[in-house]
Structure 1
Amino acid sequence: MRARSAIQSQPKAATLPADTRVYCVGDIHGRADLLMETLGRIDDDQRRRPIRYAIEVYLGDYIDRGPDSRDVIDLLAVRLVRNRAICLRGNHEALLEAFLAGSVELETWLPVGALPTLASYGASPRSRTGSAAELRRSLADAFPRTHRLFLQCLRNSFCCGDFMFVHAGVRPDVPIDAQDPRDLLWIRDEFLGSTRHHGKFIVHGHTPVPHPDFHDNRINIDTGAWRSGTLTCIAIEGTQILVL
């Protein structure tokens, strides 16, 4: 088990309600091995530091790029039911949903790491002559009902106290309750370059960074797990953020 980092406090003193701790996990991208280790750290931390309300939040991008997308969803579906975990939608889940629905073509999904996801469901293209429609049917046939229910339970954002949890970020100068769902899943430069306070302190992923990236108005915890081997989990309590 990795040693925990020093506690870091938020400059703007964003805070959670009393007796509440939020565990938040960054982009997983098919790394079921790292997710299992992270779940162990969360469970161990709760045993050592009991608290009345413990909330688990997963920031999306569970699939693609890494080898075990199906296993990742299996693990998270259990946490969703047993622990009432909050699972957010990432842009990669949105692409999967759109592909299954027939509103996005394979050529749109492939460049962002679809092949390992398809393979994890046993739906890899067998030849260059196989059509995208056949592949879509193959994936749909192999896709478990529990995974469809999991996708239906995904949220675009979650707020607790002064914190907002979202996959990609928010559009500056737009009220939190008026955000475009597409921005919550896809935005980058306009959000990352903004120093404005957004009404909430934003916890997000989507854009890989070498280590948890603290700013006055946000923290990015996507540490590129599929490639770096580091899946970041933070524990927020009061005004403090602890990297597990």
Structure 2
Amino acid sequence: MSDLTYAIGDIHGQLDKLRHAQELIAADRARSGNAAPIVHLGDLVDRGPDSRGVVAHLMAGQARGENWVVLKGNHDRMLLNFLADPEIPDPGLSRPLPYTWKNIGGADTLDSYGVPGGLERPLGDLHAEALRAVPQSHRDWLASLPLWHRRAEALFVHAGIRPGIALAAQTEDDLIWIRGAFLDDPRDHGFLVVHGHTAIDAATHYGNRLNLDTKAGYGGPVTAAVIEGRRAWRLTEHGREEIAP
């Protein structure tokens, strides 16, 4: 069986860009005849205009049998944490900021669910409305998302891993939040780590890891890529472009 896998980087409420990335994959599947799975690397929500639409689209695709894996990102957990208790910030944040703080983008997510004014209104009022507005099915689905997916020579995860720690011993906080300790480590991890979380201008292969977060939350594209072994290609309207280490 081929070990080819498709991957899609951080989405951040950009439904149109997600659909475009999936269309690029559909075209590549048609050319190659390979129905390999698509792994979505998390951060489905926040900052963009249609987080609700992204969640509904991915849920519907899985329900109709699409070969899609969807991983949990830190922003997906922040939405769940806000719904559980708006006064307790996510422990992965460097300082205790509210979910509706502008750079987090939670107000955009709440607005997509019909709860406007998140930057100005009291958290308690927003929370009460959000509990009524966010379907329980969306909350349950987000809570059930896996933290990683292993396939052949690649490990797919939102943020990265704690180097030198067995996969089974990794913590959720590291898998969805880690940066420096992972990004700055040049060692081979035993597999190619395919991740997002840390926004960069273009998909980049570092030899031991592949970063696909191309700033969709800040106006950039949602990137679609093909991974086979430890090689990777970015998908474009003109076909594959190799992302060389």
TM-score (norm 2): 0.85
Residue of structure 1 aligned with 2:155, choices 157, 164, 175 = 164
2:176 matches 1:185: yes
2:54 matches 1:72: yes
Structure 1 residue 46 displacement after superposition: 1.4
Structure 1 residue 146 displacement after superposition: 3.2
Corresponding residue for 1:196? 187
Identity among equivalent positions (%) equals 36
Corresponding residue for 2:36? 54
Amino acid at match of 2:20: E
- SS of residue paired to 2:109: helix
Corresponding residue for 1:94? 77
Q: Distance in 1 between matches of 2:144 and 2:66?
A: 14
Q: Distance in 2 between matches of 1:120 and 1:105?
A: 22
The 1:238–1:28 alpha-carbon spacing in structure 2 relative to 1, beyond 3 Å, is same
Structure 1 residue 170 displacement after superposition: 0.6
Residue of structure 1 aligned with 2:137, choices 107, 132, 146 = 146
Corresponding residue for 1:63? 45
Q: Assess if the C-alpha contact under 8 Å between 1:60 and 1:89 holds in 2.
A: yes
Q: Distance in 1 between matches of 2:219 and 2:122?
A: 34
TM-score (norm 1): 0.85
Q: Distance in 1 between matches of 2:88 and 2:124?
A: 9
Comparing both chains, which one has the higher relative contact order based on Cα–Cα distances under 8 Å and sequence gaps of 6 or more?
1
Corresponding residue for 1:32? 15
Q: Number of residues paired by the alignment? A: 225
Q: Distance in 1 between matches of 2:8 and 2:117?
A: 32
CA-atom RMSD in angstroms? 1.9
Amino acid at match of 1:197: D
The 1:126–1:203 alpha-carbon spacing in structure 2 relative to 1, beyond 3 Å, is closer
Q: Assess if the C-alpha contact under 8 Å between 2:192 and 2:230 holds in 1.
A: no
Corresponding residue for 2:100? 110
Structure 2: 5+ residue stretches without partners? 90-96, 236-245
Q: Assess if the C-alpha contact under 8 Å between 1:23 and 1:42 holds in 2.
A: yes
Structure 1 residue 29 displacement after superposition: 0.6
Structure 1 residue 110 displacement after superposition: 2.1
Q: Distance in 2 between matches of 1:239 and 1:187?
A: 22
Deviations 1:51-98 (A, max 9, x none): 2x5111001111111111111111111222221411111000111111
Corresponding residue for 1:230? 221
Q: Distance in 2 between matches of 1:152 and 1:36?
A: 23
The 1:132–1:90 alpha-carbon spacing in structure 2 relative to 1, beyond 3 Å, is same
Q: Distance in 1 between matches of 2:191 and 2:3?
A: 17
Q: Distance in 2 between matches of 1:191 and 1:91?
A: 16
